[in-house]
Amino acid sequence: TILVLDFGSQYTHLITRRLREINVYSEMLPCTQKIAELSWKPKGIILSGGPYSVYAPDAPHVDPAVFDLDVPILGICYGLQEIAWTHGQNVSAGEKREYGRAQLQLEPHTSMSPHVDELFKGLGQDFEVWMSHGDKLSKLPEQFVTIAKTANAPFAGIAHTEKQYYGIQFHPEVTHTPKGTILIKNFAVNICKAGANWTMEAFVDKEIARIRALVGEKGQVIGAVSGGVDSTVAAKLMKEAIGDRFHAVLVDNGVLRGGEAKQVHQTLTEGLGIQLHVVDASQRFLGLLDGVSDPEKKRKIIGNTFIDCFQEKANELTAAAHNTPQAGEIEWFLQGTLYPDVIESISFKGPSATIKTHHNVGGLPEKMHLKLIEPLRELFKDEVRAMGTNLGIPHDLVWRHPFPGPGLAIRIIGAVTPEKVRIVQEADAIFISEIRAAGLYGQIAQAFAAMMEGKAVGVVGDQRLHGYIIALRAVSTSDFMTADSFVFDGEWLKRVVNRIGNEVQGVARVVYEVSSKPPATIEFE
């Protein structure tokens, strides 16, 4: 196991992710972790980056005992400065703060210690790295040599001449350092000799054990599910960990896809054995949405009403829990937060404008005095999918396109009515089933039918029809931050458009929307 000590960089989790990618176990702990309190001995230690300056009076520092463990240490960015600082060396605030790409050059040296070369083995003479730091080293600490530099940082890589201590100013864990994973592998596998035996199966077992320890023998957990990948995987993990002491709640808000509540109910209860409570609140939501056309207002109504519905159900279940002597109170709230959500909510604190307020259930636990449990918090989407597969969740669900919390309400431009919802549901079902039949579902990141505002004229038989306008949208994207419209075969598209026009009552026209993001967004509102 590699111990990753976290100094608070937004990239720290990427270090653990890279380690998982090369099948190495790691444990991430706060930078102030007392080594004496560890029940295991790490094979090596990585000190992460962080937002501080080592000379700030409140700067965090590692337990000096890490240097007595006699294991290899790699300091990244702040971690490098921390190593230098603990070895009595000056760090100065860089005149030029350095952010972005830089070309790293390995430094030839005449050291007698072969270990100093191990870190950059197989990486070539110079390669691209990603820098993000303010402070930089102004002088080498005693007994250290320079192993790499960039135009701006003369000590971009340093190594101790006797001990296996390394410091690098750049971030090997981000994809902008294309060879970073090799460097991390050099450190973890070659230098630390950590075994490459991490598996998803073992990770799941460990998470289950962690949940059991956290919740205790009697504790009960409640969580919302949507039918999407994240909440389903989190729910299944809970089910495996604590069985029927986990209660899943699905709120039908009336703007789900056609037949969805029923389908989710079937998959979760019959397929996965999860105890699911469906709250049919569609009338309540549609009533509140009546006549509302502002997208942010729609989001607020749906978000708040969701919280109300969930809370009512939770109170009911909590009252029922009083009567089950074999179990304790409902004290925990499960949330399927992923690591990218964590970063997003951090970066959203700044002035970087919130483009859309994404619907989530953030305020709920505090309001209900529940403790938050987030078992997917360290994982990325692809890892959640791998975990889902490992937990026996059906392939189609694991690879399902994302569906927004406010549902069809933000795919219907303008005011939402039950008729419009019905039309979008039917059009969407045809579009998606044709995409599946053509074998294209997996190549598309997200596809759906939406409705434009207003009506258009069409003709059915000899009758003039004043009907709705459906817009179809399908996009390719890897991170949903930018997206490209998907290119279908023209004849195929015409056939699907005709099917929707003929089969969905009330539709006068169907258009295929080809905007990319930016300037458009993926959803219509």
Cα 145 to its chain centre, rounded Å, is 39
d(CA 396, CA 384) in angstroms, rounded, equals 14
Q: Are 118 and 186 in contact (CB under 8 A)?
A: yes
406 binds ligand XMP (CB under 6 A): yes
φ, ψ (nearest 5 deg) of residue 269: -80, -55
- Which CB, 470 or 522, lies closer to ligand XMP? 522
Flag whether 230 is marked binding.
Answer: yes
d(CA 423, CA 498) in angstroms, rounded, equals 15
Contact residue for ligand XMP among 208, 390, 480, 515 (CB under 6 A): 480
Tell me how far CA of residue 359 lies from CA of 15, 302, 307, 382, 406, in angstroms. Answer: 29, 8, 11, 22, 7
- Which CB, 228 or 506, lies closer to ligand XMP? 228
The token pair that represents 252 in the structure block = 């039908």
- Which CB, 172 or 406, lies closer to ligand XMP? 406
For residue 519, whether the previous peptide bond is cis, meaning omega lies within 30 degrees of 0, is yes
Contacts of residue 373, Cβ cutoff 8 Å, sequence gap at least 6: 211, 214, 215, 221, 332, 333, 334, 335
Candidates 24-32, 133-141, 163-171, 515-523 — which segment interacts with ligand XMP by CB under 6 A?
515-523
DSSP 238: H
Tell the smallest beta-carbon distance from residue 251 to ligand XMP (Å).
Answer: 13
Contacts of residue 64, Cβ cutoff 8 Å, sequence gap at least 6: 86
Tell me how far CA of residue 391 lies from CA of 97, 243, 335, in angstroms. Answer: 46, 14, 18
Tell the smallest beta-carbon distance from residue 301 to ligand XMP (Å).
Answer: 12
381 binds ligand XMP (CB under 6 A): no
Q: Which of 99, 45, 97 is nearest to 75 (CA)?
A: 45
Contacts with ligand XMP by CB under 6 A: the residue count is: 14
Q: Which of 331, 358, 330 is nearest to 344 (CA)?
A: 358
405 binds ligand XMP (CB under 6 A): yes
171 has catalytic annotation: yes
DSSP 170: B
| Longest pairwise C-alpha distance within the chain | 92
344 has catalytic annotation: no
404 binds ligand XMP (CB under 6 A): yes
Altogether, the residues listed in the chain come to a count of 525
Contact residue for ligand XMP among 163, 176, 356, 400 (CB under 6 A): 356
- Which CB, 109 or 356, lies closer to ligand XMP? 356
Tell the smallest beta-carbon distance from residue 344 to ligand XMP (Å).
Answer: 10
192 has catalytic annotation: no
DSSP 517: B
Q: Are 422 and 451 in contact (CB under 8 A)?
A: no
Candidates 42-50, 246-254, 338-346, 352-360 — which segment interacts with ligand XMP by CB under 6 A?
352-360
Candidates 311-319, 354-362, 428-436, 506-514 — which segment interacts with ligand XMP by CB under 6 A?
354-362
From the candidates 82, 98, 173, 434, give the one annotated as an active-site residue: 173
- Beta strand 446-460 pairing with 463-476: antiparallel
Flag whether 228 is marked binding.
Answer: yes
Candidates 113-121, 314-322, 404-412, 497-505 — which segment interacts with ligand XMP by CB under 6 A?
404-412
Q: Which of 22, 21, 185 is nearest to 119 (CA)?
A: 185
Flag whether 232 is marked binding.
Answer: yes
Hey, is 82 helix, strand or coil? helix
Interface residues for ligand XMP in 284-303 (CB under 6 A)?
Answer: 299
From the candidates 31, 77, 192, 309, give the one annotated as an active-site residue: 77
358 binds ligand XMP (CB under 6 A): yes
The token pair that represents 295 in the structure block = 């997208």
- Which CB, 130 or 306, lies closer to ligand XMP? 306
- Which CB, 164 or 231, lies closer to ligand XMP? 231
Flag whether 231 is marked binding.
Answer: yes
Contacts with ligand XMP, 111-130, as mask; x by CB under 6 A: --------------------
446 binds ligand XMP (CB under 6 A): yes
Binding positions for ATP are 226-232
Residue ranges binding ligand XMP (CB under 6 A): 299, 356, 358-359, 402, 404-406, 446, 480, 517, 521-523
Binding positions are 226-232
Give the residue numbers annotated as catalytic, written as ranges: 77, 171, 173
